[in-house]
Amino acid sequence: MTQRARSVTAKQGRERAILDAARVLAAERSVREVTLTDIAAAVGLHKSAMLRYFETREQIFLLITAEAWQEWAAAVRETLAVADRDDVPAILARSFVSRPLFCDLLGQAPMNLERNVSLDAVHQFKTIVLGEIATVRKSLRQLGISERGAALLTTTGSSMAGALWQMAAPGTRLREFYQSHPDLGHAVVDVEPQLTDILTAILNGAAS
């Protein structure tokens, strides 16, 4: 049986192992399908022992979401540093779609994850996210995009990436069902081109 982590370093190591296991499981399936029992089994703990490290399953995934925001923002800032203004919609759309788990988390966070943790956990999460968004908006401003335009691009980009990803249902039986029925063709969502079109309209509108 796996022993309880007693030192601070051991506890941090166990927490990291739990987060990594949850990330892998969610990438293989989807966030909504991964239970606390699944994560506990992956790290060799009993479900009840998980509460020594995290208050809920949702807190685990909210922390993973915060890390995903940090990874996304760092990559986008690097890309925008050598980009042209007109390339921004495609860059942002691609930055989301190339991170399937991030898109899944973006859809789950406001509907589920943030509602099943303590307010302190929500505050910590929002502080990290808003800080990362601010850095990306600064990069957008350096390309000559207005403050309002930068805000709309980041807010709409992230919210629509999460929503469209859930609608697209990639890798699921539902997606296969839509694709196999011509009369349901309107239900087949291609996230990247649709998101690029939306962000292009916002960029052009913000400039007018």
The predicted pLDDT at position 22 comes to: 97
Residues in the chain: 208
1-54: CATH number: 1.10.10.60
> Are the beta carbons of 151 and 202 closer than 8 angstroms?
no
Predicted confidence at residue 8, as pLDDT, reads 81
pLDDT digits (tens, 9 = 90+) for 45-79: 998 899 889 999 999 999 999 999 999 999 999 99
Q: Is residue 177's pLDDT more than 80?
A: no
State the pLDDT confidence band at 9, using cuts at 50, 70 and 90: confident
Question: Which residue, chain included where needed, has tokens 């789950």?
Answer: 108
Task: For residue 1, name the pLDDT band (cuts at 50, 70, 90).
Answer: very low
For range 73-86, the mean pLDDT: 97
- Domain ranges across the chain: 1-54, 57-207
Look up residue 4 and give its DSSP letter.
P
CB within 8 Å of 1: residues ≥ 6 apart: 44
pLDDT at 170: 58
- Domain range 57-207, its CATH number among 1.10.3720.10, 1.10.150.130, 1.10.10.10, 1.10.357.10: 1.10.357.10
Give residue-wise pLDDT tens across range 105-162: 999 999 999 999 999 999 999 999 999 999 999 999 999 999 999 999 999 999 999 9
Q: How many helices (H) and strands (E) does the chain have?
A: 9, 0
Q: How many CB atoms lie within 10 A of CB 155?
A: 13
